[in-house]
Copies of this chain bind each other. A is one copy, B any other.
Amino acid sequence: MKHHSAARSTCSDPDDQLLARQLAALSHPARLALLRCLGERDACCVKDLVGRVGLAQSTVSQHIRTLLDAGLVTYTPDRQASRYSLNSEALSAVAGSLDQIVQSVCSGCCGGKGRTGT
């Protein structure tokens, strides 16, 4: 539980900033594809990923770095390669946070969900 200090009306909590950053990391089809690749074959090296998403190696490296910066994947150097794995906890946390926001926001708006319809 945290207090909403209403002192400032700009409701920009650091929590929201982190979540926004992580959602931004997820908001690109290529990165969703990369996550799926990592899900199928955990601990992929970049070259594997490059072969599967059809983008240049530098581009894949960039996307991976975005995911890494957001904490959604982990990095382990392995010989001359790099092994990237999913950070399941972080991923679950993001999904959970979004779900919680959606729940809270929707319950507040009309006492439940399932917006009217009638």
- The interface of chain A, by Cβ under 8 A from chain B, is 2-13, 16-17, 19-21, 23-24, 26-30, 32-40, 42, 51-56, 85-89, 91-96, 98-102, 104-110, 112-116, 118
List 6 contacting pairs A-B, 8 Å CB cutoff, sorted by A: A7-B54, A11-B52, A13-B29, A35-B105, A94-B102, A100-B118
Would B11 and A36 count as touching, CB distance under 8 A? yes
- Kindly report how many copies of this chain are found in the complex they form together: 2
Contact residue among B9, B16, B53, B108 (Cβ-Cβ distance under 8 Å from A39): B108
Would B54 and A33 count as touching, CB distance under 8 A? no
Which of chain B's residues have a CB closer than 8 A to the CB of A116? 89, 92-93, 96
Measured CB to CB, the nearest residue on chain B to A56 is: B2
Would B96 and A118 count as touching, CB distance under 8 A? yes
Contact residue among B27, B28, B88 (Cβ-Cβ distance under 8 Å from A106): B88
